Structure 1
């Protein structure tokens, strides 16, 4: 049992010039950690991370534009606006630098922010993602094998009512958490996610020369059962990032932060300590 209560959370809403509104929550104090969710989430995705870090860090969780309760003009957001929203949020909160922690789609936000505003990131955690850095042109045979098998695995998961952004091991071992994952995903049931998916995939054109420009330390985490982003692709991209660590988690799908939260938190904790973000 805890001897002291958790730090209080304050919520806010950042109005953007084009009419979008970004919902955010800030918990704790200290050096800043900025959490960016994936296509199947929103700011609530980080419920297992915020309590683990908020006693020592300022934890900022936000919903990307268009993801509830944030809003955007039109039927679906343009992911090319995500990095600008991120910098605007840091400016709004008067935070000069942060460690950025991005899951899946959040990795697109992280990569674009790191390349356009390198001075604002003290570190970058890419969770099951390479963001806009492509691994398709790197001629990795393991990536080719992954593409050849992923669709059959995905169909089997769907037939068994397992969310394809998690995995069969997680669904069997943690049915309650698996249900919660789906409920958070369904909070955005009215959003045209296929349009967003197509948009982020169209941005995934950056090559090794862009990976080499990432100036901050990077931690890349992958689940070895991931059928959304190739684990081998993450390793292939990592070979071109100057200051990088790669951690592979067995028997885990696309959402290590949710499926194996304690391990994920420990990996991030070690990374933060190693880069001296205290």
Structure 2
């Protein structure tokens, strides 16, 4: 299916019955990156996944992006799916977009789940592995640069005991073949992201923060800062988990999302 934000076409899918859950993916990822979480949720809620501009089957980027651009894309998908509002989950960059959706369009957000994300784009040392991998990708290919960035994305236990799961992620990225141009355009939006002064406005909204305790790309302190700044937010730290929540900790992540949806009234009592 296709949604439109002005002249930009955005590919999206809808799966499952129940209340809508808009799912916003992170840097360079397509909607297929939700593949591990969807089986846990699609029998409980209506999962709306989409390709951010420049990824998957959506139109390419035409310059640098802003958070406003990506918020408008997300809302265009929600409109095309036929919903005035939805529960929203965003991970990494998608969690940044989700924050802006909730702050600028509170009436469209029934509840909010923020995974492995941060209230500010520029905080601490730059992610040199991620930046190096982005720069080298056109020269040496995605497979080699993925090995460079893997220690920043995955927990040590996953790298040691479950290389097959990391290999599955690599194959998905190779199939997506997201361009460096897209990554740079999205990084421009990330660099200007800062919601710290406004997060208190989300008080009264059901909010859950999910964060891997071994996240080397976005340290868990960023998740704690989000939880501290949003009145009533619930913080869930995931042991033995890095940045890639559903690769490192699929079952605990799914359980936390389902628990949130139950508290937010998105599930029948028995399902919650």
Give 1:200 deviation, angstroms: 2.6
Match of 1:206, SS? coil
Corresponding residue to 2:209 among 207, 212, 220: 220
Equivalent in the alignment of 1:235? 224
CA 1:237/1:74 → structure 2, altered by over 3 Å: closer, same or farther? Answer: same
Off by >3 Å, runs of 4+ in structure 1: 75-79, 158-162
**Equivalent of residue 78 in structure 2, options 81, 90, 111:** 90
Give the distance between the partners of 2:235 and 2:19, measured in 1 at CA.
23
> Counterpart in 2 of 1:254?
243
Distance 1:108 1:136, change over 3 A: closer
Q: Are the aligned partners of 1:162 and 1:168 in contact in 2 as well (CA < 8 Å)?
A: no
TM-superposed deviation, 1:56: 2.0
Please list every run of 5 or more consecutive structure 2 residues that lacks an aligned counterpart in the other structure. 133-144, 268-272
In structure 2, what is the Cα distance between the partners aligned to 1:258 and 1:96? 32
Q: SS at 1:251's partner residue? A: coil
Distance 1:135 1:88, change over 3 A: closer
Report what 1:190 is aligned to.
179
User: Which deviations, in whole Å up to 9, do the C-alpha atoms of 1:169-205 show, x marking residues without a partner?
Assistant: 2122221210121222332342424423531333222
* Match of residue 169 from structure 2: 181
Conserved 8 A contact 1:25-1:60? yes
Note the aligned Cα RMSD (angstroms): 2.8
Separation (CA, whole Å) in 2 of partners of 1:250 and 1:193: 32
Equivalent residue, structure 2, for 1:66: 54
TM-score by length of 1: 0.81
Q: 1:270 to 1:75 in 2, by over 3 A?
A: same
Taking a change above 3 Å as real, the CA distance of residues 188 and 135 of structure 1, as seen in their structure-2 partners, is closer
1:16–1:204: structure 2 CA closer, same or farther, 3 Å change rule?
closer
Q: What's the offset of the Cα at 1:38? A: 0.9
Correspondence 1:128-167 to 2 at 5 A: 128-130=116-118, 133-134=119-120, 147=125, 163=150, 164-167=152-155
Deviation at 1:115, TM superposition (A): 0.7
Give the equivalent residue in structure 2 for 1:119. Answer: 107
Work out whether residues 66 and 77 of structure 1, in 8 Å CA contact, stay in contact via their aligned partners in 2: no
Distance, in Å, in 2 between the alignment partners of 1:22 and 1:106 is 15
Q: Distance in 1 between matches of 2:14 and 2:239?
A: 32
How many residue pairs end up in the alignment? 253
CA contact (8 A) 2:41 2:47 kept: yes
Distance 1:53 1:210, change over 3 A: same
**Partner Cα separation in structure 2 for residue 113 and residue 16 of structure 1:** 15
In the TM superposition, residue 243 of structure 1 has moved relative to its aligned partner by 2.3
Name the SS of the counterpart of 1:99 in structure 2: strand
State the alpha-carbon separation in 2 of the partners of residues 267 and 46 from structure 1.
Answer: 15
Residues 1:173 and 1:90: Cα distance change in structure 2 (over 3 Å): same
